[in-house]
Amino acid sequence: MNTTSELKEKLVAINRITKVVKGGRRFGFAALVIVGNQKGMVGFGHGKAKQVPDAIKKASDEAKNSLVKIPLREGRTIHHDIAAKSGAGKVVLRSAPAGTGIIAGGAIRAICEMLGVQDVVAKSIGSANPYNVVRACMIALQKQRSPKDVSILRGKKISEVVARR
């Protein structure tokens, strides 16, 4: 598939790693990158290298290989409220009405922007470690069920599943 041309990437975190050896310290870098097409596809990657650009390249390559399709409601928000956990990082995502914007911080904001979500309220609880927060956010987004999925599971029509507000 030719999606690489329309993919955007966002660097979430960069860490300097120190390895102590006999002659002193060796420095390396670790990068965390989010990649998405802003139309419902998103992925994340983690790369390590001796130089920052190499670490970012490795992370973005891994992110492109880990792209997943996430169903969006009206192409602007998530279908329902979801929560997930990875390590000590807990994430709560809530769907929001049009015009709300992305009310989230750091890593969750980056994922929502790359995914194409325009209206969402998110909270990160517990660990602020971006690796755990990103992993928890991805788990939460993948747990989400669209009305089409639910209707197929229950053997009903979509109109019977969707609650009118």
3-state secondary structure of 41: strand
Q: Which CATH number fits domain 72-161: 3.30.230.10, 1.10.8.60, 3.40.718.10, 3.20.20.80?
A: 3.30.230.10
pLDDT of residue 4: 61
Contact 83, 136 (CB under 8 A): no
Give the position of tokens 């660990």.
127
Q: What amino acid occupies position 32?
A: L
Q: What amino acid occupies position 68?
A: V
> pTM of the prediction?
0.87
Q: Render pLDDT for 36-92 as a digit per residue (tens, 0 to 9).
A: 998 889 999 999 999 999 999 999 999 999 999 998 888 888 888 999 999 899 999
pLDDT of residue 160: 77
Q: Which CATH number fits domain 4-68: 3.40.50.150, 2.60.40.3140, 3.30.160.20, 3.40.109.10?
A: 3.30.160.20
Q: Is the pLDDT of residue 5 over 70?
A: no
pLDDT of residue 164: 64
